[in-house]
Amino acid sequence: MTTHSSDSNKERRRSRRLKVDFTLTYQVNQPLVVRMSVGWNHNIYALMMDLSEDGMAISTDFNIPIGTILSINFTLINLNSNTEEDRIKSMELLGEVRCNTPAGKGEHRLGIRFIKIAPIDKDAISSFVRATSPINPENL
């Protein structure tokens, strides 16, 4: 059963998502009851499944409720970047769980909307998605 923050199943994303396969870590910030059940200072490893400038989907072993605020850390590797300093970029941001879908074997797919992200990180993600997308209008 899929749990959404609204009953509408139509596409609400403003940005194109790119399928990826990155490892990330996260910690639960809020609510306190979820943070207590997962661990106070426990970095949880998860797999990022897709990414856009506005959010991501991850696969995790924890059933994290909608509305939970997560501190997320990951490294974006953009081999298409023109500058050396932008090829590998560590990011720290806050995201809100907007969707939680059981994925079998105790796993959950979480849809996360970014709520606090540095503009330079948002630009790096946007550039990565544009450069890596299978259909890249800039290359036509």
Between 38-47, 56-65, 88-97, the lowest mean confidence (pLDDT) is in 38-47
Q: Does position 79 have pLDDT exceeding 50, yes or no?
A: yes
Q: For residue range 21-54, what is the model confidence (pLDDT) as tens digits?
A: 889 999 988 877 776 667 666 788 999 999 998 9
Tokens of 36: 């207590």
Q: What angle do CA 101, 107, 110 make, to 5 degrees?
A: 40
Predicted pLDDT at 80: 78
Class (C level, CATH) for 17-133: mainly beta
Tokens of 37: 């059940």
Which SS3 state, helix, strand or coil, does residue 14 take?
A: coil
Of residues 96, 26, 42, the one with CA closest to residue 68? 96
Average pLDDT in the chain: 82
CA distances from 50 to 37, 53, 98, 140 (A): 26, 11, 14, 24
Q: Does position 65 have pLDDT exceeding 70, yes or no?
A: yes
- What confidence category does residue 9 fall into, taking pLDDT thresholds of 50, 70 and 90? very low
pTM: 0.78
Summarize the confidence of residues 56-78 as an average pLDDT.
93
Predicted pLDDT at 117: 97
What residue ranges do the domains of the chain occupy?
17-133
| Rounded Cα distance, 129 and 50, in Å | 10
